[in-house]
Amino acid sequence: MEQALTIVVFSHLRWTWVWQRPQHLLSRLAKRHRILFIEEPVLIEDGRAAHWQLDEPEPNLRVFTPFTRIPEGGFHDHQLPVLKTLLDDLAHRERLHHPVVWLYTPLALPLARRLDPKATIYDAMDELAAFKGAPPELLEREAEAYRFVDLVFTGGPSLYRAKCHRHPNVHCFPSSVDLVHYATARDARLDHPEQAEKPRPRLGFFGVIDERLDLPLLDTLARERPNWHLMMVGPVTKIDPAHLPGQPNIHYFGQRSYQELPVFLSGWDVCLLPFARNEATRFISPTKTLEYMAAEKPIVSTPITDVAEPYGHIVYLGDTAADIIAACDRALGELDSERERRVAGMRQVLLQTSWDATALAMENEIAKVLDGSGFSAGPAATQSPRRKTERRETVIVGAGPTGLSAAYHAPDALLIEANDTIGGWCRSIEDHGFTFDLAGHIMFSNDPYVHTLYRMLLGDNVHWQERDHA
């Protein structure tokens, strides 16, 4: 992409929070494009009127934080009238004429529309509707976003499988790694001074500490192995800190800078991915998996899909607390030959990815939409005379169980569905605590492949029962 763009980003994550996917991607794109990063509002606590606070953490990247008097947080509907007024002023001052808009949250869609973008991107890094405290309007706004945006990115393969049928231009871009940054953790001489006096073995985790972590698992690990010391680095959010496991061999260090993370990591014997198995973790693709690999540390994880499927051959997995303890024992007692095989596998994985390459590939997809060579379903498609018609040899009408299965086995086919949710009419509706089957389907099979396939395609709307059919 030769011409520099103005990219306006609406994010539910703050720039100064945990350094992750948005920061990695946008700091790289800022080397070639003008980035305006708009955060969620902050409540005004003095007598001032609504206003913007500006920060410029990197050249060509400006962070705008709106301050309002509206108590509801996030891009809440009650915030929108004030935010639209602030946005109009910002658009005038910054000369925003049909920018590219990048959404990290569909709740900001009304603000994106107001900028009359020439292209709109939805980077679905998580299944936000499954997170604790997600507003009820999020699902409706997301369905609207899929009808409006031109391009969808997903943060991992499991999320891609869940989203790929909802828009004609979806691309999977899993999180990558800053290899140079985290490879410094291979230096055994490094150790963060705040953990240097902690006994070994040390088992560590860095990241957000919230409802996605299996806190009972951590508590069991600490109780069953009192000689193990668990290093927990990261901010605590959406859960009461008083409810965290309080065993004397669990150490909480709070949020730390991006620069400190390899220094903590270098002093760990095992890296942990102790995620719970719940709706909030169903589609997560943890960035820290590759960051741990860059340090060449043994990794022990619960069987999260985007860890177990691609990396099960080089990551120790355990489902129950007993399994995790046994996996940690194996990791701590790793033979030289086993370590050599694991490290070789990790290096092979890391050779195939980088944040630089990911940002460039995303940039190329944006360029295709802008020049009309990529399929576009949003407003840019209907307004641009350069749009090209997409031709497919196979078109499947209806994303019910049969249509989904056919499309899964014919990946070049175009799947068309009138509803906003996959599964056609084969889905359930939750209302006032009751579950209503919109249209029930019965299929008999004892084939494990069929069970796995339909669980993947239809998610929680699949209910297998033991039944004999004579």
Whether residues 165 and 196 share a domain: the answer is: no
In the predicted structure, residue 452 carries a pLDDT above the cut 80: no
Q: From CA 356, how far away is CA 459, in angstroms rounded? A: 33
Nearest-angstrom CA–CA distance, 336 and 348? 18
Question: Is 72 in the same domain as 95?
Answer: yes
Domain termination site, one of 351, 370, 405: 351
Regarding whether 183 and 161 lie in a shared domain, the answer is: no
- Domain encompassing residue 167: 6-172
Same domain for 167 and 149: yes
Are residues 163 and 241 located together in one domain of the fold? no
- Given pLDDT bands bounded at 50, 70 and 90, which one contains residue 129? confident
**Two structure tokens written together for 360:** 């460039």
Give the Cα separation of 283 and 162 in Å (integer): 8
- Collapsing DSSP to helix, strand or coil, 462 comes out as coil
pLDDT > 90: what percent of the chain? 72
Instruction: Establish if 256 belongs to a structural domain.
Output: yes
Lowest mean pLDDT among 4-8, 285-289, 458-462: 458-462
On whether residue 383 sits in a domain, the answer given is no
13/51 Cα distance (integer angstroms) = 19
Average pLDDT rounded to a whole number, residues 445-464 = 58
**Total residue length of the chain:** 470
What pLDDT is stored for residue 228 in this prediction? Answer: 98
Q: Which is it for the CA torsion 164, 167, 168, 174, positive or negative?
A: negative
pLDDT bucket at 455, cuts 50 / 70 / 90: low
Report pLDDT digits (tens) over 30-79.
Answer: 999 999 999 999 999 888 999 999 999 999 999 999 999 999 999 999 99
Please name the residues in contact with 287: beta carbons below 8 A apart, sequence gap of 6 or more. Answer: 20, 21, 175, 177, 207
Where does the pLDDT of residue 388 fall: very low under 50, low under 70, confident under 90, or very high at 90 and above?
A: very low
Helix spans in 55-96 (H): 80-94
Query: Is residue 451 predicted with pLDDT exceeding 70?
Result: no
pLDDT in tens, 153-167: 999 999 999 999 999
Average pLDDT over residues 202-227: 97
Instruction: Pull the structure tokens for residue 289.
Output: 């998996």
* Mean pLDDT of the chain, nearest integer: 88
| Same domain? 56 vs 100 | yes
Is 452 inside a domain boundary?
A: yes
Please say which residue of 130, 146, 172 terminates a domain.
Answer: 172
82: Cβ contacts below 8 Å, ≥ 6 apart: 41, 50, 66, 68, 69, 70
Q: Which carries the bigger pLDDT value, residue 431 or residue 128?
A: 128
The token pair that represents 222 in the structure block: 């600490």
pLDDT at 290: 97
Domain assignment of residue 359, yes or no: no
Last residue in a domain, options 116, 144, 172: 172
pLDDT of amino acid 402: 81
Higher-pLDDT residue of 245 and 439 is 245
- Mean pLDDT value across residues 103-114: 96
Residue with tokens 């086995």: 409
This prediction's pTM = 0.77
Same domain flag for 242 and 304: yes
Are residues 303 and 317 in contact, defined by beta-carbon separation less than 8 angstroms? yes
> Per-residue pLDDT tens for 272-286?
999 999 888 999 999
How high is the pLDDT of residue 437?
62
* 127: nearest Cα among 354, 304, 302: 304
Share of the chain above pLDDT 70, in %: 84
User: Is 364 a member of any domain?
Assistant: no
Q: Are residues 49 and 102 in the same domain?
A: yes
| Position 378 pLDDT exceeds 70 | no
130-134, 246-250, 313-317: range with lowest mean pLDDT: 130-134
- Does residue 369 lie within any of the structural domains? no
Q: Indicate which CATH number applies to the domain containing 153.
A: 3.40.50.2000
Residue range 163-185, pLDDT digits in tens: 999 999 999 999 899 999 999 99
Residue pair 219/244 in contact (Cβ under 8 Å)? The answer is no
Q: How far is CA 357 from CA 105, 139, 362, 466, in A?
A: 24, 31, 9, 48
Same domain, 335 and 300: yes
Mean pLDDT, residues 375-390 taken together: 42
Q: What is the pLDDT of residue 392?
A: 62
Strands 100-103 and 119-124: parallel
Same domain? 164 vs 248: no
Number of separate domains in the chain: 3
| Domain match, 447 and 420 both | yes
Tell me if 356 is assigned to some domain. no
pLDDT at site 391: 55
Residue 444 counted as domain residue: yes
Per-residue DSSP letter, 79:
G
Beta bridge partners of 54: 64
Residue 207 and residue 334 in one domain: yes
